[in-house]
Amino acid sequence: MVNFSKLTFAMSVLLKYLFKTNIKFDNNHSTIHVLFALVDHYEPGTGAVTKEVEKSRVEELLEKYPKLADKHLDSDGRKPRRTWFFPPHYHRFGNLNRLVTLCSEGYGEIELHLHHGKHKPDTAKNLEDTIRKTISEYSEFGIFGEENGEKKYAFIHGDWALDNSRNGKFCGVNNEIDVLRNTGCFADFTHPSIVESNPKQINSIYYAVGRPGQSKSYARGKQVRAGVHGEGLMIIQGPLHPLFIRNNIFSLRIMGDGIYGDPRTTSQRIDKWVDTSIHVAGKRNFIFVKTHTHGATDAEHVLGSEIEYILEYLENKYSDNRQFRLHYVTAREMYNIIKAIEFEAHIADPFDYINYRVTAPNYREAGDRQEASPELKSLLAKSYR
């Protein structure tokens, strides 16, 4: 049976991609800066695995990621920096303490991933209380940077249900955009996503503004522009594009930004990430490539040969320091660079602006905090068990 929703979605993406005027960057002899971020929906306990399996997934990351990252450098001489979006549901068994050690050694940063409203719709109050309590407890580990003395965080919604966008499932809060803004969220990195929750506005960086009583209010927004100060919750999307995975017309697929081995990432796909040209309006030579993975379950791909290939290809093709410069960035650093373009307009070197608005976290282990508090667990359990 034909799935008309998926077919309509695919045709919509294809047409928007083909007719989008800024797919290719300008060939104006300016250096093209490729800013690459891999955001990890890091859920070590997913799949209802045993405690031993959950802990072993974290240990595998701690063992393999430094060895992987130490072999690679971008145009600034920096190693790949991953962003682990870590849900408080898995703040247990010392997982967060262990993950913080990677961050304190410069291998990446931690931001907020949250599943809620799965077993019954969440409420705006419970959501806000949950986020504020999570920020408080994560802060014991030095997690999250600050702006003007206030903790700030990046966000990825569990089950792709940002702003109650999946027909009332997996969220329940229609004013989620406002709750996120009120609690210090500086940007959302959820998309692209599945059909019903994906924004109508694709391959762009824009501001979403909540609409009272309406779900999926991020579907469209005003694009972030160089030299123009916008308002709302910044939505930073990864590339969404058509791709022939074999040499025939029947192999055409709509590909998002996921790295999970299906299909295995090729040079053609990496070039599509760059050619999709997600940028701030008015600054076409800064290309933002946000990709994602579920690193605890997709470790085979993002701790092994597939990610090795991706990094090697990026460094060989997009780090010649003449036509291209490659920059490995975290989610926070990507946001800061975007804000610098928005406020300063004519910045030259993105590396100078990685801490432009939200400061770098000051990570530390908190040995006496091995799991979420009973209060945080209770807040989480109200809508998601």
| Between residues 205 and 4, the one the model is more confident about | 205
Task: Read off the pLDDT of residues 319-339 as tens digits, 9 standing for 90 and up.
Answer: 998 899 999 999 999 999 999
Nearest Cα residue to 208 out of 158, 258, 159, 155: 155
Residue 262 has pLDDT above 90, yes or no: no
State the DSSP code for 90. Answer: G
**Domain for residue 366, yes or no?**
no
**Domain for residue 6, yes or no?**
no
Non-local (6+) Cβ contacts of 36 within 8 A are: 74, 289, 291, 314, 326, 327, 328, 329
Residue 42 has pLDDT above 80, yes or no: yes
Radius of gyration of the chain from its Cα atoms, rounded to whole angstroms: 20
Domain extent for 216: 28-361
**pLDDT tier at 22, thresholds 50, 70, 90:** very low
Q: Which residue has the tokens 């109050």?
A: 125
**Domain for residue 376, yes or no?**
no
What is the SS3 assignment for 241?
strand
Q: Which CATH number fits the domain that encloses residue 34? A: 3.20.20
At 63, phi and psi to the nearest 5? -80, -45
Overall number of domains in the chain:
1
Q: How far is CA 333 from the centre of its chain?
A: 12
**Domain for residue 85, yes or no?**
yes
Q: How far is CA 44 from the centre of its chain?
A: 17
**Domain for residue 368, yes or no?**
no
At 119, phi and psi to the nearest 5? -95, -25
First to last CA, the chain: 34
At 145, phi and psi to the nearest 5? -80, -175
Non-local (6+) Cβ contacts of 358 within 8 A are: 145, 146, 147, 152, 186, 332, 335, 336
- Neighbouring CB atoms inside 10 A of 227's CB total 14
**pLDDT tier at 10, thresholds 50, 70, 90:** confident
**Domain for residue 15, yes or no?**
no
Cα separation, 285 vs 325, whole angstroms? 10
Tell me the two tokens of residue 185. Answer: 């969220």
pTM: 0.95
Cα separation, 293 vs 237, whole angstroms? 14
- Neighbouring CB atoms inside 10 A of 373's CB total 14
pLDDT of residue 17: 80
**Domain for residue 52, yes or no?**
yes
Task: Read off the pLDDT of residues 50-93 as tens digits, 9 standing for 90 and up.
Answer: 999 999 999 999 999 999 999 999 999 999 999 999 999 999 99
Residue 370 has pLDDT above 50, yes or no: yes
Residue 25 has pLDDT above 70, yes or no: no
The share of the chain scoring above pLDDT 70, in percent, equals: 96
Max CA pair span of the chain: 58
Task: Read off the pLDDT of residues 227-259 as tens digits, 9 standing for 90 and up.
Answer: 999 999 999 999 999 887 777 777 778 889 999
| Between residues 13 and 268, the one the model is more confident about | 268
- Neighbouring CB atoms inside 10 A of 250's CB total 6
Q: How far from 220 is each of 64, 231, 234, 235, 383, CA to CA, in Å?
A: 39, 13, 11, 10, 28
**Domain for residue 84, yes or no?**
yes
**pLDDT tier at 28, thresholds 50, 70, 90:** low
Q: Report helix angle 374-381 to 124-138, nearest 10.
A: 150
Nearest Cα residue to 185 out of 225, 150, 141, 142: 150
Residue 368 has pLDDT above 90, yes or no: no
Task: Read off the pLDDT of residues 281-313 as tens digits, 9 standing for 90 and up.
Answer: 999 999 999 999 999 999 999 999 999 999 999
Mind giving me the DSSP string for 227-257? TB---SEEEEPPP-EEEESSSSGGGEEEE-S
Task: Read off the pLDDT of residues 187-217 as tens digits, 9 standing for 90 and up.
Answer: 999 999 988 999 999 999 999 999 998 999 9
Tell me the two tokens of residue 341. Answer: 């373009």
